[in-house]
Amino acid sequence: MASGANDYIYQIKKSKMKKYKWGILTAGKMAAKFTRALKLLDNAELYAVGASDQGRADHFATEFGFKRSYSSYEELASDPKVDIIYIASPHSHHFEHTMLCLKNRKAVLCEKAFSLNSREVKVMIGESRKQGVFLMEALWPPFQPIYKKTREVLQSGEAGKLIHLDARFGFQPPFDPVDRKYNLALGGGSLLDIGIYPVIDVLYFMGIPDEVSAKASFTETGSEHSICITFCYKDGRMATVYSSFRTAAGIACTLYCENGNLLFSRGRDMSQRLTVSLNGKESKEYSLLPDGMGYQFEAAEVMKCLEAGRIESEIVPHSFSLDLMKALDSIRNSAGIVFPGRD
């Protein structure tokens, strides 16, 4: 599996696809990670970066080799040469920045969580369709080879029906009340930051749940640091999710099926591993460490869709992002998580 992990990217590189000029909105850590991956793609041109001040924009542009740097997001969005803008601002600003870019007719790849609630996501999707401009949520998991292999095993039928899914994501960042991870005004809390990943697992492999319930523990800022979620389906299937900033729970998902179990996990270095343990058979293991931490798969999909004239991805369609945000709304409602001024 490892040998074919980047086949999709190599196909993109070898194609006669035009070069697309990328703009990066914000100059933080996530933007830097994404830009390093973007540099792996021959048809992606690092063209412009916009930050909250000129100094930060200039530093980022110099570090990565961008041709233009702007001290405002408005300047970036209005640059007529920019084809695509990657948005890596805090969750609380995704709606505002996405709308800014779409209204300037720029294709948008916006980091998860897409926004703070499904109401805003509907407006974003509506603007994309009104303008006829591409929009996609930057969801890491569906593009990863391990994810695709897991789905292949399930669809083959050899594991039997999927009965239960249990997923977790936990690590221990230092507590800082002004850090975005703990700041409610910025959409802070473990749910939108890391809990969204195991929730994606549930929706991707099991579909939309019929019932959702959740319990959370909170910090002194009012943001939740840990949350447990239960998803129930009318056919008897269930899923459980745990995310936390208080425990080193790691990143893993176990799928319990009629004929055995599938376990996939991810290291902090983005290494991926899938173990397939079927009843009466020797376990099989698949592992790899993708180049660029795997973010380049998202960027490649955006350019592939633009080349085909699409305004949404078939891998992460608008409907999936809306269903995901509706699920997150239900979780927050059950757990008592409120974003002041946005709920």
The verdict on residue 302 lying in a domain is no
Domain boundary among 117, 138, 159: 138
Give the closest residue to 23 by CA, choosing from 84, 88, 96.
84
Cα(193)–Cα(294) distance, rounded to whole angstroms? 18
Instruction: Indicate whether 7 pLDDT > 70.
Output: no
User: What digits encode the pLDDT tens for the residues 157-189?
Assistant: 999 999 999 999 999 999 999 999 999 999 999
User: What digits encode the pLDDT tens for the residues 182-210?
Assistant: 999 999 999 999 999 999 999 999 999 99
Instruction: Determine what percent of the chain is predicted with pLDDT higher than 90.
Output: 88
What CATH number is associated with residue 89?
A: 3.40.50.720
Q: How many CB atoms lie within 10 A of CB 275?
A: 15
Structure tokens at 235: 């056919």
> Do residue 14 and residue 70 come from a single domain?
yes
The verdict on residue 9 lying in a domain is yes
> Do residue 86 and residue 158 come from a single domain?
no
Structure tokens at 211: 């019932």
User: What per-residue confidence (pLDDT) applies to 270?
Assistant: 67
> Do residue 111 and residue 247 come from a single domain?
no
The torsion angles phi and psi of 11, rounded to 5 degrees, stand at: -65, -40
> Do residue 104 and residue 152 come from a single domain?
no
In the block, tokens 């930057």 appear at 138
> Do residue 266 and residue 166 come from a single domain?
yes
Q: Is 186 helix (H, G, I), strand (E, B) or coil?
A: helix
The verdict on residue 295 lying in a domain is no
Range of the domain at 253: 145-289+315-335
> Do residue 66 and residue 175 come from a single domain?
no
Instruction: Indicate whether 237 pLDDT > 90.
Output: yes
User: What digits encode the pLDDT tens for the residues 129-157?
Assistant: 999 999 999 999 999 888 999 999 999 99
The verdict on residue 252 lying in a domain is yes
Domain boundary among 93, 110, 138: 138
The verdict on residue 308 lying in a domain is no
Bridge partner residues of 274 (DSSP)? 264, 286
**Residue 5 Cα to chain centre, angstroms:** 19
Name the strand (E) or helix (H) holding 232.
strand 224-232
What CATH number is associated with residue 220?
A: 3.30.360.10
> Do residue 197 and residue 52 come from a single domain?
no
Find the radius of gyration of the CA atoms of the chain: 20
User: What per-residue confidence (pLDDT) applies to 5?
Assistant: 43
Domain boundary among 138, 165, 190: 138
The verdict on residue 49 lying in a domain is yes
The verdict on residue 294 lying in a domain is no
The verdict on residue 224 lying in a domain is yes
Instruction: Indicate whether 71 pLDDT > 90.
Output: yes
> Do residue 207 and residue 327 come from a single domain?
yes
**Residue 14 Cα to chain centre, angstroms:** 26
Instruction: Indicate whether 255 pLDDT > 50.
Output: yes
Q: What is the mean pLDDT of the chain?
A: 94
Instruction: Indicate whether 268 pLDDT > 90.
Output: no
Interhelix angle 318-335/196-206, nearest 10 degrees: 120
> Do residue 222 and residue 242 come from a single domain?
yes
3-state helix, strand, coil in the chain (%, to 5): 40, 25, 35
The pTM of the whole model exceeds 0.75: yes
Cα(114)–Cα(100) distance, rounded to whole angstroms? 14
**DSSP string across 264-311:** EEE-TT--EEEEEEETTS--EEEEE--GGGGTHHHHHHHHHHHHTT-S
What stretches of the chain show up as alpha helix (H) in DSSP? 7-14, 29-38, 54-64, 73-78, 94-103, 118-131, 145-156, 190, 196-206, 296-307, 318-335
Number of structural domains (the chain) is: 2
> Do residue 21 and residue 158 come from a single domain?
no
> Do residue 93 and residue 212 come from a single domain?
no
> Do residue 150 and residue 216 come from a single domain?
yes
Cα(113)–Cα(244) distance, rounded to whole angstroms? 16
